[in-house]
């Protein structure tokens, strides 16, 4: 009886994993989500918790980027910036919560470096490469250890504001170049926000004194005529709250809790909110993928609807995440193999010539791609692969890892892990929209690398 229950629980866990959407990245630990909508695509910038935690503290060396056109499949663009971008300091850890914004065809990535304050990087592309235009930190203040978690938005009149801070909230008015700020306001350009209970709620401090619920992780944006400041509250563990204002500079009014503490959430949190394709989404991070390790976090997302008055409802974190795609994936165009809705056991790597590709592929591992539109049908499949081992197979299945087998693409030894070739196979003709699974089979520990795929 106990053995039977074990198998039932194992089967149930497998079904739950296959139906899961959260966390949205399984190949790496990601945190501090910063979504940006640009040209019909959501670009998601994240910090990156390393697989190996050093000194029982956040171990973070770089920033990553993912993108999606449908909110269910996410393409990995790899590391787009790291602490190595900044030659003016020798910090080797502390690549904390970023945010990116576009202006006049340039992309500005604001990054906090723990103990070094806030810096800025610039690129001609949302996925980099980014470079350091200043050769020094952007924010020049006396509280660099508290200068973390930058959030930026451009108001309707063209004025950009950069907010940040823990446990205080500050802002500057950025100049149009986005890499300098107006020094005629506040204290040498830095404005200190008044932290009152009316603005950010009230809590009992450790010293018995009253304080506000604001802690860190601000997310600043405007929607319709309302300015929002979403933030990580209280702690530890933190939850997510928000305030609103009639202007970008306040005054702020506390509005309440967005996401309460939950077992799967990490002891920190950091939210990012966007509207995309007619829907509203909140990104946050949890510790579900690492099974409770607070220094190994993962980004998740939920769809929600604002109330009629613009207020944000209480949102519950779920394993299912976004239930419906906002667009279908076209399998007749070349699709990057690192475009994934869910994966098991895989990593991605990046090569200067090839770009990002799937690696560390072992027997039984798989990727899931959601909402694939085969239209009137497909009869052939091809893939860009490389292998220095005996290779393996790509099983092409519908709906599940053990779903209908459409075909099997053989991957042989190509003469090297970077020696890319095209392998192809016939598939059963399929029509309509389906979730697609690529299940990897073979006898060795590392089978092959997988760069792209396409149906004909």
pLDDT in tens, 352-380: 999 999 999 999 999 999 999 999 999 99
Range in 17-31, 82-96, 379-393, 428-442 with the lowest mean pLDDT: 17-31
The model carries a pTM of 0.95
For residue 18, the model assigns a pLDDT of: 60
Using 50, 70 and 90 to split pLDDT, how confident is the model at 20?
Answer: confident
CB 76 within 8 A of CB 25: yes
- Write the CB contacts of 418 (distance below 8 Å, at least 6 apart in sequence): 351, 353, 354, 386, 449
Nearest to 367 by CA among 405, 341, 404, 336: 341
H helices present in 182-247, as ranges: 197-200
Average pLDDT over residues 192-204: 96
- Using CA atoms, how far apart are residues 68 and 439, in angstroms rounded to an integer? 22
pLDDT in tens, 214-264: 999 999 999 999 999 999 999 899 999 999 999 999 999 999 999 999 999
- Using CA atoms, how far apart are residues 183 and 454, in angstroms rounded to an integer? 53
Q: In what order do the strands lie in the sheet with 151-154?
A: 151-154, 160-164, 170-174, 191-192
- Using CA atoms, how far apart are residues 412 and 423, in angstroms rounded to an integer? 9
Half-sphere exposure of 192 (CA within 13 A, CB side): 12
pLDDT in tens, 300-313: 999 999 999 999 99
For residue 19, the model assigns a pLDDT of: 74
**pLDDT higher than 80, residue 5:** no
- Using CA atoms, how far apart are residues 284 and 297, in angstroms rounded to an integer? 10
As a whole-number percent, the residues of the chain with pLDDT over 70 amount to 96
Please provide the average confidence, as pLDDT, over all residues in the chain.
95
**pLDDT higher than 90, residue 453:** yes
Using 50, 70 and 90 to split pLDDT, how confident is the model at 205?
Answer: confident
**pLDDT higher than 70, residue 104:** yes
Tokens encoding 165: 């801070």
pLDDT in tens, 312-358: 999 999 999 999 999 999 999 999 999 999 999 999 999 999 999 99
For residue 444, the model assigns a pLDDT of: 87
Nearest to 32 by CA among 53, 69, 58: 58
Tokens encoding 381: 């499949």
CB 33 within 8 A of CB 266: no
**pLDDT higher than 90, residue 62:** yes
Which domains does the chain carry?
2-304 (2.115.10.20), 335-455 (2.60.120.260)
Range in 2-11, 64-73, 74-83 with the lowest mean pLDDT: 2-11
| 342 CA to centre of own chain | 14
**pLDDT higher than 50, residue 15:** no
Nearest to 276 by CA among 336, 314, 324, 341: 324
pLDDT in tens, 106-124: 999 999 999 999 999 999 9
- Using CA atoms, how far apart are residues 194 and 252, in angstroms rounded to an integer? 9
For residue 210, the model assigns a pLDDT of: 86
């Amino acid at each position: 009886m106990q053995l039977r229950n074990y198998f039932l629980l194992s089967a149930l866990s497998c079904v739950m994993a296959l139906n899961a959407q959260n966390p949205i990245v399984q190949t790496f630990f990601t945190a501090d989500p910063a979504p940006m909508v640009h040209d019909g695509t959501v670009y998601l910038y994240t910090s990156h918790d390393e697989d190996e935690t050093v000194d029982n503290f956040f171990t973070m060396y770089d920033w990553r980027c993912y993108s999606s056109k449908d909110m269910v499949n996410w393409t990995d663009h790899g590391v787009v910036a790291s602490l190595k971008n900044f030659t003016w300091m020798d910090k080797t850890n502390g690549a904390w919560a970023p945010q990116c914004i576009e202006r006049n065809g340039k992309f500005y990535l604001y990054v906090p470096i723990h103990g070094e304050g806030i810096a800025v990087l610039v690129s001609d592309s949302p996925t980099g490469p980014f470079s350091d235009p200043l050769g020094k930190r952007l924010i020049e203040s006396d509280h660099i250890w508290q200068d973390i978690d930058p959030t930026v938005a451009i108001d309707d009149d063209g004025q950009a504001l950069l907010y940040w801070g823990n446990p205080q909230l500050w802002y500057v008015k950025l100049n149009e170049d986005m890499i300098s700020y107006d020094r005629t306001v506040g204290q040498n350009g830095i404005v200190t926000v008044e932290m009152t209970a009316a603005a950010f709620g009230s809590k009992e401090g450790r010293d018995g004194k009253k304080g506000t619920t604001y802690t860190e992780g601000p997310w600043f944006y405007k929607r319709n005529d309302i300015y929002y400041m979403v933030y990580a509250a209280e702690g530890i563990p933190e939850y997510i709250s928000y305030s609103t204002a009639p202007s970008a500079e306040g005054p702020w009014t506390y509005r309440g809790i967005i996401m309460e503490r939950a077992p799967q959430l990490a002891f920190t949190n950091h939210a990012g909110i966007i509207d995309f394709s007619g829907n509203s989404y909140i990104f946050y991070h949890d510790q579900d993928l690492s099974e409770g390790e607070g220094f190994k976090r993962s980004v998740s997302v939920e769809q929600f609807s604002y109330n009629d008055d613009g207020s944000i409802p209480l949102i519950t974190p779920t394993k299912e995440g976004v239930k419906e795609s906002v667009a279908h994936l076209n399998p007749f165009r070349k699709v990057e193999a690192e475009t994934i809705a869910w994966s098991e056991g895989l990593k991605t790597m990046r090569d200067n010539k090839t770009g990002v590709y799937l690696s560390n592929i072992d027997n039984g591992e798989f990727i899931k791609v959601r909402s694939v539109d085969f239209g009137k049908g497909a009869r052939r499949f091809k893939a860009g692969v490389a292998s220095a081992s005996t290779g393996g197979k790509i099983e092409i299945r519908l709906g599940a890892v053990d779903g209908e087998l459409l075909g099997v693409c053989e991957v042989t030894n190509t003469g090297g892990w970077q020696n890319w070739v095209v392998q192809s196979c016939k598939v059963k003709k399929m029509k309509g929209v389906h979730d697609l699974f690529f299940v990897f089979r073979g006898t060795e520990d590392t089978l092959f690398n997988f760069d792209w795929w396409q149906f004909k």
